[in-house]
Structure 1
Amino acid sequence: MKIVIAGGSGLIGQKLTDYLIRAGHKIIILTRKAKKNSGNVHYVQWLEEGTSPENEIRDSDVFINLAGVSINNGRWNTNHKKQIYNSRMAATDELLRIISLLPIKPSVLINASAIGIYPASINARYTEDSLETSNDFLGQTVYDWENKAKQVETYGTRTALMRLGVVLDMEGGALPLMVLPYRLFAGGKVGTGEQWVSWVHMVDVVRAIEFVITNSNLRGPVNVTAPIPVRMEYFGKTISSVLHRPHWLPVPTFVMRLILGRKSSLVLKGQHVVPKVLSENGFTFMFPTLHSALKDLLIK
Structure 2
Amino acid sequence: MNIVISGGTGFVGKQLAENLIEKGHHVYILTRSPEQKLDTKQVTYVGWLKKGFDPLSQLPEIDAVVNLAGTSLFGKWTKEKKAQIRSSRLEATETLVDMIEKMPKKPKVFVSGSAVGYYGTSEQDAFTEDTTKRGQDFLADVTYDWEEAAMQAKGLGVRIVLARFGIVLGDKGALPLMQLPFRYFAGGKIGSGEQWLSWIHVRDAAGLIAYAIENESIEGPLNVTAPSPRRNKDFSKTLALTLHRPYWTTAPASIVEKALGEMSILVLEGQCVYPKKAIDNGYHFRFSSLSEALEQAL
- Of stretches 32-41 and 116-125 in structure 1, the one that deviates more from structure 2 is 32-41
Q: Aligned partners of 1:237 and 1:162: how far apart in 2?
A: 29
Comparing 116-125 with 175-184, greater Cα deviation is found at: 175-184
Distance 2:151 2:175 in 1: 31
Code of the residue aligned with 2:273 in structure 1: it is V
The 8 Å contact of residues 127 and 276 in structure 1, kept in 2 or not, is answered as yes
Match of 1:220 in 2: 220
SS at match of 1:250: strand
- Structure 2 gap segments, 5+ residues each: none
CA deviation after TM superposition for structure 1 residue 195, in Å: 0.1
Q: Please state if 1:238 is matched with 2:238.
A: yes
* Aligned counterparts of 1:95 and 1:43: Cα–Cα separation in 2: 16
Residue in 2 aligned with 1:114? 115
The amino acid that maps onto 1:190 is: I
Aligned mate of 1:61, from 54, 60, 63: 63
Q: Retained in 2: the 8 A contact 1:162–1:221?
A: yes
Following the alignment from structure 1 to structure 2, what is the Cα–Cα distance between the partners of residues 40 and 214? Answer: 18
Segments of 4+ in structure 1 off by > 4 A?
A: none
What is the TM-score with the length of structure 1 in the denominator?
Answer: 0.97
The residue that corresponds to 1:191 in the other structure is 191
Moved more, 47-56 or 249-258: 47-56
2:153 aligned with 1:147, yes or no? no
Partner residue in 2 for 1:100: 101
Counterpart residue type for residue 4 of structure 1: V
Structure 2 partner of 1:37: 39
Give the count of matched residue pairs.
296
Q: Is the 8 A contact 1:117 1:138 kept in 2?
A: yes
Q: Which amino acid aligns with 2:106?
A: K
CA distance in structure 1 between the partners assigned to 2:207 and 2:141 by the alignment: 27
Pair 1:134-2:135 in alignment: yes
Secondary structure of residue in 2 paired with 1:121: coil
Aligned partner letter, 1:290: L
Aligned to 1:277: 277
**1:4: how far off?**
0.2
**Does the 8 Å contact 2:118/2:141 carry over to 1?**
yes
The Cα offsets for residues 59-98 of structure 1, whole Å up to 9 and x where unpaired, read as: 01000000111112x2110001111101111111111111
Q: Give the deviation of 1:38 after TM superposition.
A: 2.4
Percentage of matched positions with identical amino acids: 45
Unaligned runs of 5+ in 1: none
Deviation at 1:136, TM superposition (A): 1.0
**8 Å contact from structure 1 (residues 5, 29) kept in 2:** yes
Q: TM-score by structure 2 length?
A: 0.97
